[in-house]
Structure formats: structure tokens, C-alpha cells
Amino acid sequence: MSNYPTITGNSGYGDQADKSFAQFKAGEDIDKGAPVYISTVADDGITVLMAKADTPMVGIATEDADEGAFFKAQTKGFCEYILTDGGVTSGQMLIPGTDVCDSVAIGSADAAEAWVGFGIALADDASTVLSAAWIDCFGS
């Protein structure tokens, strides 16, 4: 089995065929719901880290992962669990913050924020978890 991401549709990870997933290697402890970006590419897999502002996201972690472990991340489609900064409102563009998703109003996004946008909030977050969003991460 390859250590590089395998993008799949509905493969037992959800009941919607419009979802895509990939396998990555955790370069640090990764929290379920955290947006991740590529840190390094090597023979043993693609290593990702949790979000930093202005980094292109490749997925949302679907499970907790210890540093060095392989885990699944959702890359596209309806996503039910995303960690946020606590200020996401329905209809806003999702952008990376520090270890969580941040958001901006679509009409006010400047070029620096818009190029890293990876989804749309379909609900207001509940404290620091967003339960409904459409994501389409960089490269998915």
C-alpha cells in the first residue's frame, strides 16, 4: 500500500458520495476537526501539520492522530466536524487560522485571505465546533 494520499469517494467514511478523503502522516499531534497543510513529502508519506494562517489546507482531520501516525483527512464535500476560532457564521468563507478554522465574510475577503479559502460555513459554529460546512481543499 502506498503511503501517498489515496483520494476516494464514498468508501465507508460517510454516507454521501460527494465526500473525498486522503491519508496523511501527522508531523505533530493532530486534533480531530483540525485543518491541515502539507509540511514535507518523503518516501514514507506526505506529512502534514495543523493550520497556520495563510497556508493552503489539504484537508480536515477526521480523527485524532499522534505524531508519526497515519490518519484520514476529509478533502472535499459536506463536512460535519471542524474546529473553529468560535466566530464562524453561516455563509462565511472558511480560511486557516492557528490550529483551527477562521472565517471571513465573502464580500470582504482580501486577496491574501481568499486564496487560502477552502470552504463555506453552512451553519453558525457552536462554541468552537462547526457542524456543517462544504469544503474543497487545495488540490482535492
Measured distance CA(125)–CA(140) in Å, rounded = 24
- 30-66, pLDDT tens digit by residue? 999 999 999 999 998 999 999 888 788 899 999 999 9
Q: Give yes or no for a contact between 45 and 62, defined as CB atoms under 8 angstroms apart.
A: no
Range of the domain at 113: 1-140
Strand bridging mode 35-42 / 20-26: unpaired
What distances in angstroms separate CA 83 from CA 8, 54, 127, 132, 136, one per listed residue?
23, 17, 9, 11, 16
pTM for the predicted model, two decimal places: 0.83
Asked whether the predicted pLDDT for residue 116 surpasses 70, the reply is: yes
What distances in angstroms separate CA 25 from CA 54, 63, 76, one per listed residue?
21, 12, 18
Q: Give yes or no for a contact between 58 and 75, defined as CB atoms under 8 angstroms apart.
A: yes
Measured distance CA(17)–CA(89) in Å, rounded = 26
R_g of the chain, CA atoms, integer Å: 14
Looking at residue 37, its pLDDT comes to 93
The total of structural domains in the chain comes to 1
- 59-100, pLDDT tens digit by residue? 999 999 999 999 999 999 999 999 998 888 999 888 888 888
pLDDT band at residue 134, thresholds of 50, 70 and 90?
Answer: very high
Q: In terms of pLDDT, which residue wins out, 10 or 42?
A: 42
